[in-house]
Structure 1
Amino acid sequence: MGFFNFFKSQFIEVIEWTDQSSNTMVYRFPVQNNEIKMGASLIVRESQVAIFVNEGEIADVFTPGHHVLYTQNMPILTKLKSWKTGFNSPFKAEVYFINTKQFVDQKWGTSNPIMMRDPDFGIIRLRGYGIYSYRVSEPVIFLKELFGTNASYDTSSIEGHLKKMILSGLTDLFAESQIPALDLAMHYDELSNEGKDKMQERFAKFGFEITSLYIENLSLPKEVEQAMDKRTTMGVLGNLNTYTQYQAAEALRDAARNEGGGMAATGAGIGAGAAIGNVMANALNQNQQQATPPAEPAKMACPHCQAQIRVSAKFCPDCGKSVQQKTIPCINCKAEIKEGSKFCGECGTKQVTEKICNSCGTVNGPTAKFCGDCGEGLEG
């Protein structure tokens, strides 16, 4: 029986791996005390990569397909020559199967709140969670940097480290984005894509490629959410003065319906009525103050461009010309009147602008007493 088992162990074997779980990343073949023989068949399936390690060194990387291995482990002959080592071959060779499929639905979440400065609420504490997926893109780097010579390796072995890397990157991303807390929900997709790009370099150091990252929810502390609810309520109520009047009227109606008797109830009703009256008076006064617009300054038309300007203005803001009216003295009472006026506003005297000589027809000034041409008197 022992001799038969000896020869059975020397048959050319088929090396393959069928994954029975959803989170195994690495499987090492053979297990302890098994040896890879000359001419062994290697079957690599889709979504797998096989790394052949011969005498402690990476010899080759096999992609999906059928491969034949040639090592120093010669069938039968190796066993016969290995009697000094207890029939354990001194030539060891190993095959590591690397699972290259995507490992999806990996969860991340904030164990502690993220402190942020918000333009609306000041300093806030932000919590969030979501999912991500990744796969092995560089099997050799993955072997050297992570699992080494372990017989198996699954996602739980690296889950904690990857989650902390993602949280570190997203915390930095949220702070740099400076997006207000009220607007975070509309930027989930943008933040997810930026977070994925930010993680690529970090994942590549372990031979990984992050294929997706999603933010499912970003939530604020209960106190901030209550403040947001109050702000929403204020927006729904609209004009607070009108709402105050409504509340006062409702309180007055409730007080009038109070059927409680006695002087105490009467006094309480009087006090409540006075308080409500004060509230309503204040609300009405505020509404009247808000409803009365400030008086606008008196305006007039510019004599040059007809633009509307203030009466007290000295120059027109549109054309820049002076708007001050020129004055002349009344020919009778010497009061200042607007140039070109036909009558004096003080004494009512008609303002003659010129005098024509009856003798020679010469036009003289309004204050002339004798004709400047013929010397004839102009009075009378």
Structure 2
Amino acid sequence: MGLGNFFKKQLSQVIEWNNQNTGLLVYKFPSSNDEIKNSSKLIVAPGQGVILVYEGKVADHIVGNGTYDIESDNHPFITTLLKLRTNFESEHKLRIYFYRTADNVNLGWGTAQAIKYMDPIYKIPVELGANGSFSFKISNPLFLFEGIIGSKDHYSVEEAKQLLQNRFPQAISSTLAKSMVSYQEIDSQLPVLSTNIKESLNTEAQNLGLALTDFKVNGTIFDEGTKARIAKIADITTDTFAAKEGGLTYVELEKLKALRDAARNEGGLAGAGLQLGVGMELGKTFNDAKEEQLNAENTDVVAKLKQLKLLLTEGIITQEEFDNKKKEWLDKF
């Protein structure tokens, strides 16, 4: 060791986290052999906190901004000269860890796996992906340091983000189930869902020494299977509404559609009946249902015309049949 370096090691230091990297959550002050000299000055700037580990134990935790005197057993010259047998290295190690107290804001998140829950209204399984943004900060520095970070010299915001984000899918799924929100209402309920999910996540975050200060769900997207189930429900809902407008039930409309399809098959109703395994009675039943709807005496002309129009729209009767029946009913009216 040169004489210049020897004397340089004996000087007190000014210890601070200059040009703080916003990508770091925890930063260990670099020091040769971790021998911080007695009477060194520690500067804690706004948005920072400090943890001092002396001889392997947490000795102090500083949260207030300002300048502090460092007291250790590493006295200049005396310590170094007495440590010839340890190659001029002191056993009085002082490690200084700065950490970020300010919020880490506007971090994007997205689910890597599908979130699954049962729709409370339509009783169908729903799978969706979600994305948004969140902010967090350190809420319990000592717990995070001792329980999560350990002896690492650096701990990044990205590492903490991944630690938190792994908890998102379960919290979102649980919140959707508890809130009883149908897939139709998710987009309109995003602000409320975001608040509830944040509360759920903060229970988990506290166990990591962290806290979410903001959480937003910006959008959702359904998987293909869910889209197919939703489309089927939409078709049934549309058909049910159309049937109601025509004075029919959904079941009656489906029967008449089956009649239409059977009539189009080669061999007519009899052939269709055989294909479906119910024989000629199927055609007779549908014919009876059709005639009952078109000729019921206790149905007024306007209601009959609505039903007739519905049958035409669904392709159950032809335009000619519609025109003839319409003229017959109007003549009676």
Q: Please classify the TM superposition score into its range, dividing by the shorter chain length.
A: 0.5 to 0.7
Name the structure 2 match of 1:71. Answer: 72
**1:31 to 1:238, Cα distance in 2 relative to 1, 3 A:** same
What is the Cα deviation at residue 283 of structure 1?
A: 9.2
Same amino acid, percent of matched pairs: 26
* Conserved? CA contact 1:25–1:155, under 8 Å: yes
Name the structure 2 match of 1:346. Answer: none
Counting only pairs closer than 5 Å after superposition, residues 87-98 of structure 1 correspond to structure 2 as: 87-98=88-99
What is the Cα deviation at residue 235 of structure 1?
A: 5.3
| Stretch deviating more after TM superposition (206-215 or 222-231) | 222-231
**1:210 to 1:289, Cα distance in 2 relative to 1, 3 A:** farther
Name the structure 2 match of 1:40. Answer: 40
Tell me the alpha carbon deviations over residues 19-70 of structure 1, each in whole angstroms, 9 at most, x when there is no partner.
Answer: 4532201111234424211110000111100111111111111221111111
1:188 corresponds to which of 187, 190, 195: 190
Tell me the alpha carbon deviations over residues 76-119 of structure 1, each in whole angstroms, 9 at most, x when there is no partner.
Answer: 22111111211111211111101112122333332222232222
Structure with more helix by fraction: 2
Rounded Cα–Cα distance in structure 1 between residues aligned with 2:189 and 2:239: 25
Rounded Cα–Cα distance in structure 2 between residues aligned with 1:284 and 1:108: 60
Rounded Cα–Cα distance in structure 1 between residues aligned with 2:15 and 2:5: 19
TM-score, normalised with respect to structure 2 = 0.68
| Stretch deviating more after TM superposition (215-224 or 78-87) | 215-224
Could you say which structure has the greater relative contact order, defined with CA pairs below 8 angstroms and 6 or more residues apart? 2
* Conserved? CA contact 2:50–2:96, under 8 Å: yes
CA-based RMSD of the aligned residues comes to 3.2
How many residues end up aligned between the 2 structures? Answer: 257
* Conserved? CA contact 1:134–1:208, under 8 Å: yes
Counting only pairs closer than 5 Å after superposition, residues 295-310 of structure 1 correspond to structure 2 as: none
Name the structure 1 match of 2:217. Answer: 215
What is the Cα deviation at residue 161 of structure 1?
A: 2.8
Counting only pairs closer than 5 Å after superposition, residues 1-380 of structure 1 correspond to structure 2 as: 2-62=2-62, 63-118=64-119, 119-120=121-122, 122-225=124-227, 228=230, 231=234, 239=242, 286=293, 292-293=299-300
Give 2:134's aligned amino acid: Y
Give 1:148's aligned amino acid: G
Rounded Cα–Cα distance in structure 2 between residues aligned with 1:172 and 1:6: 62
* Conserved? CA contact 2:111–2:168, under 8 Å: no
Rounded Cα–Cα distance in structure 1 between residues aligned with 2:297 and 2:176: 42
**1:16 to 1:240, Cα distance in 2 relative to 1, 3 A:** same
What is the Cα deviation at residue 288 of structure 1?
A: 7.0
- Residue aligned with 2:166, SS: helix
- Residue aligned with 2:108, SS: strand
* Conserved? CA contact 2:33–2:93, under 8 Å: no
